[in-house]
Chain A
Amino acid sequence: MQLIVNGTEHEVDVQPDMPLLWVLRDMLNITGPKYGCGVAQCGACTVHVDGMAVRSCQLAVGDLEGEVTTIEGLGQPESLHAVQAAWIEHQVAQCGYCQSGQIMQAAALLDMNPEPSDDDIDVAMSGNLCRCGTYPRIRAAVHAAAKKLQEA
C-alpha cells in the first residue's frame, strides 16, 4: 500500500483496516500524532489529509485518499508554521501531549476561517481535549496566529 506523508511517498505492508494513526506511529515512526483515546474523543491524533483536519485513529489506511500532513510536516523547529510560533510565543503547552493535535486543528481552522471569533474557536477546537487545561492560552495563541497570518 502506498501513501504520501509530508511530501514523501511510503510503501507499507499492512491490513487495510489499520488506522492511519498506527501506520504513521508504528510503521513509519512518525510519532508527532499521538494515541490518546482511539475513538475520536481527544483529537491528539489529528493530521491533515489534503488540508482537512482528520482524526487519524478513525481513518482506515485503506480508505485514505489524499496526501497526509502531520505536525512534523506543518513546520519544524527551524521553520515554524505561524500557529506553532504562536504556541511558543504564548507558552501554551504543559505536558504537551495533546498539542500536536491542537496545532493541526488550529491550522486547519485558520485555513478555512482566517479571522475566527472566540465562538468559532470554541466550536472548532472543542473536539481536542487538553487534560492539563491550557485552553485559555490556546485561545490566545489561535488569535495571535490568525493576526500573523493575515499580516503575512
Chain B
Amino acid sequence: MASIGKIARRSFLIGSAAIAGGVAFGVYAARKPFENPNLDELPEGSASFNPWVIVDSQKVQLIAPHADKGQGVFSAQAALICEELDIELDQVEVSFGMPDKAYYNTAITDAMAGYPLYDTSPTAERMRGILGGVVKLAMPMMATGGSSAIPDSYDKLRKAGAVARETLKQAASQQSGVPVEQLKTARGAVILPDGTELAYTKLAGVAATIAPVTDVALRDPKDWRLLGKPMPRLDMVEKSTGTLTYGIDFRTKGMLHATVKVNPRQGGVMNSYDASAAKGMPGVQKILEITGGVAVVADNTWNAIQAANAIEFDWGAAPYPAEQAEHWEHLAGIFTEDHLNAEARVEGDVEAAEGEEVSGEYRSPYIAHAPLEPLNATMLVTDERVDIWTGHQVQTMLEQIIADITGHDVENVHLHNHFIGGSFGHRLEFDFVKQTAEIANQMRGTPVQMTYSREEDFAHDFPRHITMGRGVAKHKDGQITSLDVQIAGQSVLRSQMGRMGMSMPGPDTQLHEGAWDAPNFNLPNLRVRSYVTEELAPVSSWRAVGAGPNVFIYETLLDEAIHAAGADPLQERIRLMGHEVSVKVLEAVGEMCSWNGPKIGENRGRGVAYGFSFGVATVAVVEVTNTEAGIKLDHVWLAADVGQVIDPVNLENLAQGGIVFGLGHAINCEITYADGMAEQANYYDHEGMRMWQCPPITFRALQNSPKIRGLGEPPIPPSAPALGNAIFAATGQRIREMPFNKHIDFV
C-alpha cells in the first residue's frame, strides 16, 4: 500500500496534538488501567476481578457498559465475556452498570489519528495509540458511537472473562488443593480431575481474597463455543413481548409527566409567551420556564402535550438563514480558499491528467434522525443526589453536564442507562436531558418524566449536515484516469462539540470521510478537498456521519465517468481498487448477484457502489425496474468485511436494516427550513422505507480485514449511490440530488 504514504496529512491537527500530548503526558501513564468501580461497594464475599465481572454466592453478574440502541451490543458484550469465562449466556445476569471512566472507549479515537483505518502500518498504529492515550488522560470518554463498540470490546471483554476464569481456578485450587494446571472450566464451574464441579458462585468468597490473575492468553477463534455462531439475543424475548422497559416506560411512585416547547428556530430566543389558556387545562400542575422555552408538567403525557400546544409563543429569529434556498446558495459560495477545510488527499496531478472530462454537482440534504422512541428522560433531583433514567450514548459526560445544571458533585449524579428505541445519532445529544434537569431541579423531590412530542422531536432534531459536492472526472482509453472531488458542508463535529461546550482544533475530518480514504490506489490522479462553514443550521452525527453524503458524491461521479468511458462499473472499480480486502468485497458481490453488467433488460438496471466507513469495506448492488408507475426496487446484494463475525444472525439483521435505512432516506427524506423552522413535523413528511417497498436483501460477511469492526453504520454510504446508479442503468436518468423522489417516482 505504497500510496498511503502519499496521502496528505499535514493539516490533521488532531494527529499533531497527539504527538505533542504523547510527549507531554508520557505513554506509560496512559497504559495504567483505571480502578475497578465495582470494588467501592462490593459486599463481603463477592469477588470482582475487573470492571466487567462480579461473582457472589448467588450469581455471576456481567456489566455490558455500551449503550444498546438496537445494534445488539448488549448481548455481544456478554458473549465476549462468556466465551472466555466458560459460562453460558443463560447463566449470567447482565446489566449496563453505572457509568465510570473505567469503561472509557478505547477505540473511538482510532478514526481521528489522521490515518485511514485500512492503514495498519506500525506508524499509523503508534499514532492511534498515542492519541488514544492522550484522550484517555485528558478526557476518558465512556461513549458508544462511530461503530466502535465491538472494536473497543473485542479484546478487552474477552480478557475480562479470561482473567475472571483464571482467578476462579486459582480459588478452586486453593480450596481443593488440586494444582491449577489440572483444573478445567465449563458451564460456570471449575471442574476437578475427578469430575467434581465447583460452581463459580461457590468460589466467590475465596476468589475475593486473591489478586486477579494478570497474565492470560486469549483463545484461538477456531476454539470458540459461542462467538462466531448464531446466538439468541438477550433482549429478544422482552422485545417480542412488550416487557422491556425503555426509558419512556420507566415508572416510579409519584412521578409526573412533562413535555417542552423550545424555539423551533433552533438556538433562537423566546421573546415572550402566554400560557393563560394552558394553565387551567386538565391535569396541568406547573408551567416552568427553561432555557429557550417552556415546560408543562402534568399528571400524564397527553395532558402535558395538549397544554403545551395551547401556549402562545413569540419566538426570536433563527441564528442561520431562514429559507432553505439560502442554505444551498451559501454552500455554493464556499468552494473557496478561505473556506478550505482540508486538502485531504492528493495523488498525482488532477489538473495535468489526460482524458475526457465528466463533471457534476451533487446535493445531500438535511435529514432527521427520528428514532421511533421519542427523546425522553426521567429525573429525580433531591438535595443529596440526582437520578437519571434514560438511554444515552455518552454516559460519563452526561452525568457531568447534569451536575453542572443542578449544582451537585458529579459523584452524586447517577445515570441508570436504559435500552434505547433507536438513535441513529440523536442519543449523542444532550438537550433533552438538560431540559429534564432544568424541570426536575425546579421540582426537587418529585420525579419527572419529560417526553418530546413527535413534532417537538422533529423540530429539535439536529439533522444530518447539508452537503454539496462538485467533481470532475477524466477517462481515457476506457479507463478512469483522474477524480477531482470537492465537498462543501456544514461542520457536523464543530456543531455537535460546540453544544458540549468544546471547541475542535483543525479540520472537520467528517467533511471528507469516505472520499479522502477511498482506497482507489490504482487511480493515478486523485484529489479530495473539503470546504467548511458554521453558518447554517445546527447539525449532528447521523448514522455513518460524513461518509453518507461523501460516498454518494464520490461513487456517483465515478459511475458517471465509468459510463462515459464505456467500462463496466464493477470491473473498473475492481481495477481501480488497490486494496486487497476491498477487492475481495467487490468480487464477492459480483459473484452473489451474478453480475453481468448494469443493463439487464428493458427498463431494468443494476447499480454498484463501494463505501469505506468506520474501517469496513462495504459494497452494495441494487437492482431496479422502471415500471409505468415508477422505480421498483427488485433486489439488493450487500457484502462487507468486518474482520471477525461475532454473531452472523445479528450481523445480517444490521446489514439488511442498514440498507433499508440508507435507501429509504435517499428515496424520500429531507429536512428543509422555512421561516427558520423545519418544515417536516412527523413521519408523513419524512417517511423512510415501509415494508411494501422493501426488496429482498442478500448479505455476505467477509473476514479478511486484520481488525474487527462494527457494522452499525457502514451499510449506509454505498446504498444511496448504488440505487442512483441502478436508476441510471434502468432509465438513462442521472440523479445527483437526494432525496431521489424529487426527480423520479417510486413504487
Asked if A39 and B242 sit within 8 Å, CB to CB, the answer is: no
Are A33's CB and B70's CB within 8 A? no
* CB closest residue in chain B, given A124: B691
Most buried by A among B69, B70, B242: B242
B271 lies within 8 A of chain A by Cβ = no
A63 to B419, CA, bound (A): 34
Cα–Cα distance between A6 and B235 once the two chains are bound (Å): 23
Interface residues of B in 262-293 (CB under 8 A from A): 282
Q: State whether A41 and B682 are in contact (beta carbons under 8 Å apart), knowing that A94-B653, A126-B691 are contacts in the complex.
A: yes
Q: Does B566 reach chain A (CB closer than 8 Å)?
A: no
Contact residues in B for A42 (Cβ distance below 8 Å): 372, 683
Please name the residue on chain A nearest to B243 by beta carbon. A77
* CA–CA, A80 and B237, complex, Å: 9
Q: Is B371 an interface residue (CB 8 A)?
A: yes
Contact: B233 with A91, CB < 8 Å?
A: yes
Q: B635 CB to closest chain A CB, in angstroms?
A: 11
For B237, the chain A residues whose CB sits under 8 A away are 77, 88
Q: Are B422 and A132 in contact, CB atoms less than 8 angstroms apart?
A: yes
Q: Does A122 contact B (CB under 8 A)?
A: yes
Q: Is the pair B241, A84 in contact by a Cβ cutoff of 8 Å? A: yes
Q: Is B72 an interface residue (CB 8 A)?
A: yes
* A127: nearest chain-B partner, CB-CB: B690
Q: Are B242 and A72 in contact (CB under 8 A)?
A: yes
B217-272 contacts to A (CB < 8 Å): 230, 232-233, 235-246, 248-249, 251, 257
Within 8 A of B (CB), among A117-142: 121-123, 125-139
A93 on interface, CB distance cutoff 8 Å: yes
Judge whether A31 is part of the interface by a CB distance below 8 angstroms: yes
Q: Which of A56-79 contact B (CB under 8 A)?
A: 70-72, 75-77
A37 within 8 Å of B (CB atoms): yes
Q: How far is the CA of A71 from the CA of B238 in the complex (A)?
A: 11
Task: Please give, as numbers and ranges, the residues of chain A lying within 8 Å of B419 by CB-CB distance.
Answer: 95-96
Which one of B246, B251, B454 contacts A37 once the chains associate, using CB atoms below 8 Å?
B454
Is the CB–CB distance between B454 and A95 below 8 Å? no
Q: Report whether B248 and A34 are in contact in the complex, using a CB–CB cutoff of 8 Å.
A: yes
Judge whether A38 is part of the interface by a CB distance below 8 angstroms: yes
* A92 x B240 contact (CB < 8 A): yes
| Contact size range, B | 35 or more
CB of A35 within 8 A of CB of B374, answer: yes
Measured CA separation A97–B300 after assembly (Å):
20
Evaluate contact between A26 and B301: CB separation under 8 angstroms: yes
Contact A87 B240 (CB under 8 A): yes
The interface residues of chain A lying within 8 Å CB-to-CB of B301 are 22, 25-26, 35
Whether A94 lies near B691 (C-beta < 8 A) is no
Chain A: CB-nearest residue to B230: A91
Closest chain B residue to A75, Cβ basis:
B241
Contact B653 A97, beta carbon cutoff 8 Å: no
Q: Quick check: A36 and B374 within 8 Å, CB to CB? A: yes
How far, in whole Å, are A82 and B41 apart by their CA atoms in the complex? 44
Closest CB of chain A to B455's CB: distance in Å?
8
User: Shortest CB–CB separation between residue B287 and chain A, in angstroms?
Assistant: 19
Q: Are A131 and B372 in contact (CB under 8 A)?
A: yes
Cα separation A77 to B694 with both chains bound (whole Å)? 30
Question: How many angstroms between the C-alpha atoms of A12 and B178 in the bound complex?
Answer: 65
Out of A76, A131, A137, A139, which one reaches B371, CB within 8 Å?
A: A131
CB distance from A78 to the nearest CB of B (A): 9
Across the interface, which residues of B come within 8 angstroms of A139, CB to CB?
A: 691, 694
**A32 nearest in chain B by CB position:** B242
CA A33 to CA B69, docked complex, whole Å? 18
A18 & B302 in contact (Cβ 8 Å cutoff): yes
Residues of chain B in range 662-703 having any CB-CB distance to chain A below 8 Å: 664, 682-684, 687-692, 694, 696-697
CB-defined contacts of B257 to chain A, threshold 8 Å = 26
Selected contact of B243 from candidates A15, A32, A135, CB within 8 Å:
A32
**Could you say which of B660, B684, B696 contacts A133, with CB atoms under 8 Å apart?**
B660
The answer to whether B692 touches A84 (Cβ under 8 A) is no
Is residue B37 within 8 Å, beta carbon to beta carbon, of the partner chain?
A: no
Q: Mark A15-31, 1 if CB is under 8 A from B, else 0.
A: 10011001001110101
With A84-B240, A135-B660 already in contact, the answer to whether A41 and B300 are too (CB < 8 A) is no
- Distance A32 CA – B373 CA, assembled complex (angstroms): 12
Contacts of B248 in A (CB 8 A): 31, 34-35
A39 adjacent to B691 (CB under 8 Å)? no
A110 at the interface (CB under 8 A from B): no
Q: How far is the CA of A26 from the CA of B246 in the complex (A)?
A: 14
* Complex: A136 Cα to B690 Cα, angstroms: 11
A133 touches B454 (CB 8 A): no
Contact A99 B694 (CB under 8 A): no
Q: Determine if B103 is an interface residue (Cβ-Cβ < 8 Å).
A: no
Query: Is A54 on the interface with B (CB-CB < 8 A)?
Result: no
CB distance B246 to A123 under 8 Å?
no
Which residue in chain B gives the minimum CB-CB distance to A100?
A: B242
| Residue interface mask B4-25, A partner, CB < 8 A = 1 | 0000000000000000000000
Inter-chain CA distance A31–B243, complex, in Å, is 8
- Do residues A93 and B241 form an inter-chain contact, with CB atoms below 8 A? no
**Is B684 a contact partner of A95 (Cβ separation < 8 A)?**
no
Which of B69, B72, B236 has the largest count of A CB atoms less than 10 A from its CB?
Answer: B236
Q: Are A126 and B236 in contact (CB under 8 A)?
A: no
B696 partner, pick from A29, A125, A136, beta carbons under 8 A:
A136
Q: Give the most central of A35, A37, A72, A136: most B CB within 10 Å.
A: A136
Q: Which residues from chain A contact B239 at a C-beta distance below 8 Å?
A: 93, 96, 99
Q: How far is the CB of B68 from chain A (nearest CB, A)?
A: 8
Chain B positions 519 through 534: 1 when the CB is less than 8 Å from some CB of chain A, otherwise 0: 0000000000000000
Q: Which residues of B contact A77 (CB under 8 A)?
A: 237-238, 241, 243
Residue of B nearest to A44 (CB): B372
* Chain B, Cβ-Cβ closest to A30: B242
Complex Cα spacing A29 to B530, Å: 51
Instruction: Write out the residue numbers on chain A whose beta carbons fall within 8 Å of the beta carbon of B235.
Output: 93, 96
**Residue B658 is within 8 A (CB to CB) of chain A in the complex:** yes
Contact A132-B241, Cβ < 8 Å, known A15-B282, A22-B301, A91-B650: no
Given A22-B301, A131-B422, A95–B69 Cβ distance below 8 Å? yes
- Residues of A close to B420: CB separation below 8 A: 95
Q: Is B654 an interface residue (CB 8 A)?
A: yes
Task: Tell me if B600 counts as interface (CB < 8 A to partner A).
Answer: no
Using A34-B421, A131-B661, A132-B661 as known contacts, say yes or no to A70 and B246 having CB atoms under 8 A apart: no
The smallest beta-carbon distance between A47 and chain B, in angstroms, is 10
Residue among A19, A34, A95, A130 having the largest count of chain B Cβ atoms under 10 Å: A95
Q: A88-B240, A93-B236, A95-B373 are in contact. Are A132 and B657 (CB under 8 A)?
A: yes
Q: How distant is B259 from chain A, measured CB to nearest CB, in Å?
A: 11
- Given known contacts A35-B451, A133-B656, A136-B656, A95 and B243 CB-to-CB distance under 8 angstroms: no
Q: Which chain B residues in 534-563 approach chain A with CB under 8 Å?
A: none
A13 to chain B, nearest CB (A): 10
Give every chain B residue within 8 A of A37 (Cβ-Cβ).
Answer: 454, 682-683
How far apart are A45's CB and chain B's nearest CB, in angstroms? 11
With A18-B302, A133-B658, A135-B660 known as contacts, the answer to whether A91 contacts B649 (CB < 8 A) is yes
Tell yes or no: B738 within 8 A of A by CB. no
The 8 Å CB contact of A97, one of B372, B696, B697, is B372
A121–B691 CB distance below 8 A: yes
Question: Judging by beta carbons under 8 Å apart, are A135 and B371 in contact?
Answer: no
Say whether B691 contacts A99, CB under 8 Å. no
Q: How far is it, in angstroms, between the C-alpha of A71 and the C-alpha of B692 when the chains are bound?
A: 24
**Would you call B370 an interface residue if the criterion is a C-beta within 8 Å of the partner chain's C-beta atoms?**
yes
Q: Does the CB pair A134–B243 fall under 8 Å?
A: no
| B482 within 8 A of partner (CB) | no
The 9 closest A-B pairs by CB, nearest first: A32-B242, A133-B660, A95-B70, A97-B421, A96-B239, A71-B242, A133-B657, A94-B70, A26-B300
The contact sample of 22 A-B pairs, CB cut-off 8 A, is A18-B300, A18-B303, A31-B248, A31-B251, A34-B372, A34-B421, A35-B301, A42-B683, A84-B241, A91-B653, A93-B236, A93-B240, A94-B71, A95-B419, A96-B70, A97-B373, A122-B691, A131-B661, A133-B659, A134-B656, A135-B694, A139-B691
Additional 7 contacts, C-beta under 8 A, given A41-B684, A94-B654: A31-B249, A31-B251, A32-B241, A35-B451, A75-B241, A94-B657, A132-B70
